[in-house]
Homo-oligomer: A and B are copies of this chain.
């Protein structure tokens, strides 16, 4: 398999390429390694954000929180979170103001980085368990929707849960719940099974760049909480600065997917 840009290089090698300015999506890179979302905020908002994630572990499964001003993480030896992602987005007061490949000029001793689990890990487990993942089969972006499931608010942060949909054959729904339950660190078990309207979703109107996956006869839509939720919530709060990874341009950790199955 591998990836057209990054090939079959190791995680430290891939991060070194990114540090040198290589910038491409990370789907399929370092297969079996945990890829992660990134959200960087001023320390002043870190408590509310951490509490928000605690209260909403399905959309916001935190894998690591850095000390203020520290760009290092226990998830990747030698990594620098300011340079080692392929692309970042910068938001000021909730507005998207820049897309960059290096955030060193924005960095300060006041910033805290949250490394947040991503669905790639549980999708790998689903595939390994014989559960098909349609958008991977078809090379499209997973469909994402703003649901009517309200997150538990914390301080300045509140808003609805963003969810993803995967069509699952009826005979594999229980297995899909079981497999993803083993990975609470990457969104865990589904938040809804069966009726899009029940969670406020019109399947034909995906958001955030996602595309509706084909739902075949004998399949039912299954919904999981999505890592876009904390970003959407942070933007809505209009905090003065937030930096995130750019969509599809994830942080490549040294941790293997299977490690997250242990509690």
By a beta-carbon cutoff of 8 Å, the part of chain A in contact with chain B is 46-47, 50-51, 54-55, 62, 65, 67, 74, 152, 155, 181, 184, 188-189, 262-263
Closest-by-CB residue of B relative to A74 is B152
CB distance from A155 to the nearest CB of B (A): 8
Interface pair B50/A189, CB less than 8 Å apart: no
Interface pair B54/A263, CB less than 8 Å apart: no
Contact for A54 among B65, B152, B189, CB less than 8 A: B65
| Total identical chains | 2
- Add 17 more A-B contacts to A51-B65, A55-B65 (CB < 8 A): A46-B47, A47-B47, A47-B50, A50-B50, A50-B51, A50-B54, A54-B54, A54-B62, A54-B65, A67-B155, A74-B152, A181-B263, A184-B184, A184-B263, A188-B263, A189-B262, A189-B263
A54 to B57, CA, bound (A): 11
A263 to B178, CA, bound (A): 11
CB distance from A78 to the nearest CB of B (A): 19
CB distance from A84 to the nearest CB of B (A): 21
CB distance from A163 to the nearest CB of B (A): 17
Chain B contacts for A152, CB-based, 8 A: 74
Chain B contacts for A62, CB-based, 8 A: 54
6 A-B pairs in the complex with CB atoms less than 8 angstroms apart: A46-B47, A47-B47, A50-B50, A51-B65, A67-B155, A184-B263
CB distance from A237 to the nearest CB of B (A): 16
A263 to B263, CA, bound (A): 11
CB distance from A219 to the nearest CB of B (A): 24
Chain B contacts for A67, CB-based, 8 A: 155
Closest-by-CB residue of B relative to A49 is B47
A74 to B152, CA, bound (A): 11
Interface centre among A51, A62, A188 (most CB of B within 10 A): A51
* Closest 5 pairs between A and B when the two form their complex, measured CB to CB: A47-B47, A184-B263, A188-B263, A50-B50, A181-B263
Chain B contacts for A155, CB-based, 8 A: 67
